[in-house]
Amino acid sequence: LLCMIQALGKLDPYVQFLAYAAYFIALMKLNRVDSRYGKAAGFCLAGAVLLLLNSLRLTYATTFYEGNVEFFSLISSAFLLISCYYEYHAHKDIVGEVDAELGQRWIKVWYWKIAALGIGIASVLLVFISVVFVAIILVLVALFAIVVGIIVIVALYRSAKAYRAVVTFVEKEDAA
């Protein structure tokens, strides 16, 4: 979901910030289940604030921001990546109690997210070799990020379905 929220930032940084704020609230509600969701929420909010500050610098450029644009973007990305780490590992442990294979899928998604980020960074470094090559790689990275986003949505759906089955089973046992 964070990848989709980041795409919103291309449209409007305020919409992106509001989406991150809603995501923060959702993660804080999950904090009752596992404390790592609270950590994920904190890093998500910190990253969102830095992204908003970074986009505001375009409107209200100051001397402080002029030399630190890349720094704020890098720190914001790191916070959002750490947020994903805590969230996905909490998903893995919680879902792993119900379905071990599905729990391991969350770790695979984490590795795919890291791979997409690494390829994106490498492509920027390759801009000195060939601009066309980098453009092709960036298109492939964007497609890869969309695929990872779809896999996350499927994993969330399957996780909810697994929990629903367990809750239904427990409720039937309690009623008997």
pLDDT band at 173 (very low <50, low <70, confident <90, very high): low
Amino acid at 61: A
Q: What is the mean pLDDT of residues 52-75?
A: 64
Helix 35-59 and helix 69-96: axis angle, to 10°? Answer: 160
pLDDT value at residue 9: 47
Q: Are 65 and 75 in contact (CB under 8 A)?
A: no
User: Per residue in 121-142, pLDDT tens?
Assistant: 776 667 667 777 777 877 888 8
Q: Are residues 123 and 139 in contact, defined by beta-carbon separation less than 8 angstroms?
A: no
d(CA 30, CA 70): 32
CA gap 76, 68 in Å, rounded: 12
Record the pTM: 0.73
- What pLDDT shows up at residue 45? 92
* Helix (H) or strand (E) segment spanning residue 7: helix 2-8
Give how far Cα 67 sits from Cα of 49, 54, 60, 62, 169, Å: 18, 12, 14, 10, 58
pLDDT tens string 11-52:
577 788 888 888 899 899 888 888 999 999 999 999 888 888
Residue 168 has pLDDT above 90, yes or no: no
